[in-house]
Amino acid sequence: MGRGVVNEDLDLDRLAEEPLDAEDARALATLRSIVAASDPVPSGLAERSKFAMTVAALEAEVAQITRAGAETAGVRTTTYDRAQTITFSSAHLSAMITIEPVDGGRARISGWVSADGPTAVELRERSRTQTTETDADGRFRFTTVERGLVHLVLRRLDLPDSRPVITPAIEI
């Protein structure tokens, strides 16, 4: 009686120490297809993680979207009927941007920052970062913006010790 159990255990030990073969690969691949289909990774988890990391790395203050016109930020649309205007605010400044479609599926962003001094504006696209500064009236512009999720990072140039302000993701 007990002998069978012992043999089974020895067999299991021997099997456990063997290298993986095609049969194991098949079992794991089958398990993977079940797990992946039954419990998919929430869409946007990677993007949300990256945003949280950027905020942490910059020690930035996250601006709130106070108003989004025409369409809601974060919702992808395939056509633009009109320009989209979004207003952000943080404890130290507020900003308004207008997104207008241009040819080739790209967009132009023009904006205005309400701050007492000049502000550096960084546009973080998926694979590149563009920078500019506000003019005397607090205006700025990016003429060619690729589609996708972008963030703006705003830094008061007259207050170099102030925390940068980052906007939530905006879908262009």
Partner 1 sequence: MHTDGTTGSLAERAARAFSAYREGDAQAMSDLVDTTTTLLWHTARSQGLDPAQAEDVVQTTWLLLVQHAPSIHDPQAVLKWLITTTRREAWATARKSRREDVREELGEDLDTTQDVAGEPEQVLVRGQEQVVLWRHFATLSTRCQQLLRVVALAERPDYAHVAEALGMPVGSIGPTRGRCLAKLRVALKADPGWDVAS
Q: Candidates 20-28, 63-71, 80-88, 111-119: pick the segment binding partner 1 (CB under 8 A).
A: 20-28
Least distance in Å: CB of 166 to partner 1? 13
Q: Candidates 26-34, 61-69, 110-118, 164-172: pick the segment binding partner 1 (CB under 8 A).
A: 26-34
Q: Binding of partner 1 at residue 56 (CB under 8 A)?
A: yes
The residue (of 36 and 159) whose beta carbon lies closer to partner 1 is 36
Q: Binding of partner 1 at residue 135 (CB under 8 A)?
A: no
Write the DSSP assignment of 72-83 as a string of letters.
-TT---S--SS-
Nearest to 84 by CA among 64, 100, 95: 100
Q: List Cα–Cα distances, 87 to 19, 90, 95, in angstroms.
A: 59, 11, 6
Q: Residues near 146 by Cβ (< 8 Å), separated by ≥ 6?
A: 106, 125, 126, 172
Least distance in Å: CB of 149 to partner 1? 11
**Which residue from 7, 32, 72, 106 is in contact with partner 1, where contact means CB under 8 A?**
32
Structure tokens at 27: 């079992």
